[in-house]
Amino acid sequence: MGTKRWQTTIDQQGYDIEVRNSPWTGRVRVFVNGSEVTRGGSREVAQRIIFPLGGRAATLAWMNYGRGATQYDVVVEGRSISTGSQARPPKNPYESLAMSWLLFIGVAAILGGVMWFGALPEIRLALEGRETAARVVGGHVSSGRSTNYYLRYVFVAADGDTKTAEGHVSYETYRSTRSGDVISVVYVPSEPDIQRPVSYDERPALIGLVAMFGVGLPYTIAMVWRAQRTRAITAALVDRAIRTSATVDKVSKEFLGQGTRRISYRYEDAEGRSRRGRSPRLYAEEAAAYAPGSNATIAYDPNNGANSMWLGAADPNATVWVTGAK
């Protein structure tokens, strides 16, 4: 059973808060000073539990970031018990700069391997391939996550040399073929090692793999760019930020964002130019405090007025939270 514990003091009274979730049912239970005060639905579905704490309404909020990566927080009047400041959704660990680079390298390596060992030989076979007869001399079965069947055969290449090769075949072909049988193979005359049985066409699978990882590559490039840009903007704002008031334009719900919101806003820089920005992911309870047309505080980089960061309340020590907002 997974557990998470906090200790806090409210009105000079200490409280021990414990959250337990069942690995079997996913149900979440909240204990205060050892006594169960409430329980909620599945960890994978429900993401809020409101419970009493020191005469106030506390909110247990959590975000699911994959298996074993659920992150909990207890919020009282907008203040996170974990950080002591305005409660904000924890960052997705899979969107960090290091993880973005790892994903990019992994996708690029897989795509490169598929292209080099699969797609490029198939392209050459399609453009330069010559079909010929080959005599089967044996075969074997390879077992692992899946079972693969191979035939071993010999054929005479265009230059007159006899080549011994091996090729992947279907189970039906493997079962019905015996040593001495003749099968058709296709090969590249200038490089006979590039060959395969005609009956086993891997092009549909290769096209699917190239398409899948080809789409994933620009996505991971965007992840790396976004993570590096966020890090650079954050560093710049820590060094030389200018705080100013911004006007809220729109509050939008994040697609697949587990109920989080983003706030679009506009502001003017020191030179009077109109700028636009967008908040990081916010809990719905914080975003509900900012209606379109209302004011909020942001910080921007004086060296690049287009780079800004959402702060929220004008008072840096204040917190906002509309309990139960959806």
- What domains are there in the chain, each with its CATH number? 2-87 (2.40.128.180), 101-208 (2.40.50.140), 241-312 (2.40.50)
pTM of this prediction? 0.69
Q: How high is the pLDDT of residue 42?
A: 65
Element (H, E) at 53: strand 48-53
Tell me what pLDDT residue 97 has.
Answer: 87
Residuewise pLDDT in 10s, the chain (326 residues): 578 999 999 988 999 999 998 877 778 899 999 999 887 766 666 588 999 998 899 999 998 887 667 889 999 999 999 999 999 998 887 788 888 999 999 999 999 998 888 889 989 998 999 999 999 999 999 988 889 999 999 999 999 999 999 999 999 999 999 999 999 999 999 999 999 999 988 888 888 888 889 889 999 999 999 888 888 888 888 888 899 999 999 999 998 888 899 999 999 999 999 999 999 999 999 999 999 999 999 999 999 999 999 999 888 788 999 988 88
Of the chain, the end-to-end C-alpha distance in Å amounts to 29
| DSSP character string of 279-297 | ---B-HHHHTT--TT-EEE
- In whole angstroms, what is the distance from residue 284 CA to residue 197 CA? 58
Q: Which long-range contacts (CB under 8 A, 24 or more apart) does 26-33 make?
A: 28/60, 28/62, 30/60
